[in-house]
């Protein structure tokens, strides 16, 4: 096994710290309000040092979005191996719960707006698009199987279900309820799981 040098380990740790800071700032401020200066200050490094790792604000945000997708793909793969989540609906619920936990922990970047500079940059990012398609394919297979088994509404196009679940990952209702201070994180998640999977009608 090839031994990783101490310098390489330090560079890797710094990159991980940078991406974690970008995640937090994207979740708090969004792409337009986030600055490279703020990222460098959050990590505790000079802006010049940050640019040795990432060439632009768009590259920073791209790395954060790719990281989130990779975490989600890993979570999907874990759920597929977990016997306690036997059905596709069980897995979709577990993944949705996980995404809301990540958001409430301040680790979920906001999805890029339709006309944002971030969206334009991500469209040209092959790694991001590859990870997005991989996650979409994995969840799409669960959705179709769930519809065929009668556990999900077969009258809805699969992409409607997929985009609805993606939306839960950046649902502003979570942060609004948390800011209100009347409910704990788990209560908030339980309520939004009900609205997502059961609906509002009694």
The reply to whether 202 falls in a domain is no
* 183's tokens: 């409910």
Residue 48 domain flag = yes
Rounded-to-integer distance, Cα 128 and Cα 70, Å: 9
The verdict on residue 1 lying in a domain is no
8 A C-beta contact, residue 98 and residue 192: no
Closest CA to 63 of 14, 116, 8: 14
Look at residue 99 and tell me if it is in a domain: yes
The reply to whether 170 falls in a domain is yes
What pLDDT was estimated at residue 100?
94
Q: What is the CATH number of the domain that holds 66?
A: 1.10.357.10
CA angle 31-132-94, nearest 5°? 95
Q: Which domain holds residue 18?
A: 6-197
**Four-residue CA torsion sign, 81, 102, 190, 141:** negative
Domain annotation covers residue 126: yes
User: What CA–CA distance (Å, rounded) separates 62 from 135?
Assistant: 16
Q: Into how many domains does the chain fold?
A: 1
User: Residue 79 is inside which H or E element, if any?
Assistant: helix 57-81
Closest-CA residue to 105 (of 173, 163, 37, 175): 175
* CB-based contact 174:185 (threshold 8 Å): no
| pLDDT tens across the length of the chain (202 residues) | 567 787 888 888 889 999 989 988 888 888 888 899 999 999 999 999 999 899 999 899 899 989 999 999 999 999 999 988 889 999 999 999 999 999 888 888 766 665 577 788 888 889 999 999 999 999 999 999 999 999 999 999 999 999 999 988 888 899 899 999 999 999 999 999 999 999 888 7
């Amino acid at each position: 096994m090839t031994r990783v040098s101490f310098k390489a380990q330090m560079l890797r740790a710094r990159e991980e710290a940078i991406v974690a800071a970008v995640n937090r700032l994207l979740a708090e401020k969004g792409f337009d309000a986030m600055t490279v200066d703020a990222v460098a200050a959050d990590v505790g490094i000079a802006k010049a040092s940050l640019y040795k790792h990432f060439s632009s604000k768009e590259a920073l945000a791209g790395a954060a979005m790719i990281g989130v997708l990779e975490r989600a793909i890993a979570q999907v793969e874990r759920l597929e191996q977990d016997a306690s989540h036997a059905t596709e609906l069980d897995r979709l619920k577990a993944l949705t719960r996980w995404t809301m936990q990540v958001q409430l922990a301040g680790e979920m970047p906001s999805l890029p707006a339709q006309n944002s500079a971030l969206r334009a940059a991500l469209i040209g990012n092959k790694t991001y698009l590859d990870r997005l398609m991989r996650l979409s394919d994995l969840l799409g297979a669960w959705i179709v199987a769930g519809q065929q088994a009668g556990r999900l509404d077969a009258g809805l196009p699969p992409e409607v279900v997929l985009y609805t679940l993606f939306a839960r990952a950046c649902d502003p209702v979570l942060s609004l309820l948390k800011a209100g201070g009347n409910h704990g994180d788990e209560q908030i998640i339980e309520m939004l799981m009900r609205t997502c999977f059961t609906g509002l009608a009694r």
